[in-house]
Structure 1
Amino acid sequence: MTMPLDRPEAWQIDEHRVLGTGRVCSFVEDDITPPSGEQFTRQYLTHPGAVAVMALDEQGRVAVVHQYRHPVAMKLVEPPAGLLDAEGESFLLAAQRELAEEALLKADDWRVLVDIFTTPGGCEESIRIYLARGLSAAPRPDGFVVEDEEAHMDISWVDLDELVDEIFAGHVQSPSMVSGALALQTARLSGRLDALRPADAPWPARDIWAARVAERRAMESGE
């Protein structure tokens, strides 16, 4: 039996409309024609994508941040993470920057832990979650200013086994934290940590995202 895998598939966009534009995301609407020929409409949020970091120390602890998330009115336990919104910055450099900015850490060993779509039914956000090991203290990058939610963010170390228990108890709900912790625990228990993908492994979802962005921009400009 062939293993079912995610695969690229782009249905025809007949018309694209921008319903609202924000600082990070836009709310858009597409008229779509699938291979069967009937047309339907879908609304969704655009998103630049993000990276997150599961920073694991030699004691089996993970560095986590406690960040207020206004849409859900909760302060969530999350891995250090940030948007892919710096022009020309590699995914790995973005992850390294976020680890220094939010957790004041750097790492000697970087690997790709897991790639996810957070809410593919309504938002195009994709996240690459890295595993970082060989940790040591690091200063915040020059020019970085702590503001908004980050000014109220706490940092702590949590035992990975306990973190997994809290996820199954329903006490930890961030998609990057749930995916990252469960993937990390699986990799650790199965002896896969050193066999994880290299830090510069291809990320096909981002190529698809870039093509879709170019298509939308062309439709918005009337080209």
Structure 2
Amino acid sequence: MTKAAEGGAGQWVKLSTKIIYQSHWLELRCDETVLPEGSRGRYDHVVVPGSVTVLAVDDDGRVAITRQWIYPHAETQWRLPAGRIEPADPTPEAAARRELQEETGITAERLQGLGIINCADSFTNHREHAFLATGLIQGSPDLQPGEADLELTWLPFGRVLAMVADGEIPHAGSAFAVLATKVGGILDLSG
């Protein structure tokens, strides 16, 4: 057993990984592990690329919010522009700029990081990077396959905050971006 595999008190140690399933979107892995108390175990989990969510706020304090069918949840949902970090994206910020433009046609003069949220972390490594976009310039969207039903709406920040509080925006990255902006006092968005 290697030194890394020996681990220490209170640590999980990965002994091996077996990829059960792999696609362009995810890997399902089975890790043989040593648990913190020393017993051996198995940990099944999903490995996916990170993603981004963008809270785009115009000069009037209105938020660009989308509505579209979300296949895994089998329902139409409100959410902020969001998407996967692609291998060609050099940084999460580049992915955020790309996703914002693709879904809404908007480019932003300024993009500020709001933080990173772990999503379903007992089951996956998924991390969502949230950004605030300001200095917006409207252009034409470049919707990707599966986004033909995506609709863009502009709502006052206060209304979007109320939608998060009422559970109308269940997307974790969207809720985090809205709450981080409000709690952090990043902008005066009382409208």
C-alpha distance in 2 between matches for 1:36 and 1:27: 26
1:169-197 Cα shifts (integer Å, max 9, x gaps): 22221111111111111123xxx459xxx
Deviation at 1:35, TM superposition (A): 3.9
C-alpha distance in 2 between matches for 1:167 and 1:41: 37
Give the equivalent residue in structure 1 for 2:149.
152
Q: CA RMSD in A?
A: 2.0
Deviation at 1:45, TM superposition (A): 0.8
Which amino acid in structure 2 is aligned with residue 84 of structure 1?
I
Secondary structure of 1:86's counterpart equals coil
Change (3 A) 1:183 1:46: same
Which structure dedicates a bigger proportion of its chain to helix?
A: 1
1:87-111 Cα shifts (integer Å, max 9, x gaps): 3522211111111110111111111
User: 8 Å contact 1:160–1:185 — kept in the other structure?
Assistant: no
Using structure 2 for the length normalisation, give the TM-score: 0.85
Using structure 1 for the length normalisation, give the TM-score: 0.74
Decide which moves more: 124-133 or 57-66.
57-66
User: 8 Å contact 1:57–1:133 — kept in the other structure?
Assistant: yes
Unpaired segments ≥5 residues, structure 2: 1-9
C-alpha distance in 2 between matches for 1:88 and 1:131: 18
Which amino acid in structure 1 is aligned with residue 133 of structure 2?
A
Unpaired segments ≥5 residues, structure 1: 1-8, 195-223
Task: Figure out how many residues of one structure are paired with residues of the other and give that number.
Answer: 179
Secondary structure of 1:152's counterpart equals coil
Deviation at 1:22, TM superposition (A): 2.6
Give the equivalent residue in structure 2 for 1:51.
52
Give the equivalent residue in structure 2 for 1:184.
181
C-alpha distance in 1 between matches for 2:160 and 2:30: 38
Which structure dedicates a bigger proportion of its chain to strand?
A: 2
Q: Percent same amino acid at aligned positions? A: 23
C-alpha distance in 2 between matches for 1:107 and 1:187: 21
C-alpha distance in 1 between matches for 2:166 and 2:51: 27
Runs of 4+ in 1 over 6 A off after TM superposition: none
C-alpha distance in 1 between matches for 2:97 and 2:89: 15
C-alpha distance in 1 between matches for 2:80 and 2:166: 18
C-alpha distance in 2 between matches for 1:79 and 1:64: 5
Q: Are 1:169 and 2:166 an aligned pair?
A: yes
C-alpha distance in 2 between matches for 1:52 and 1:162: 18
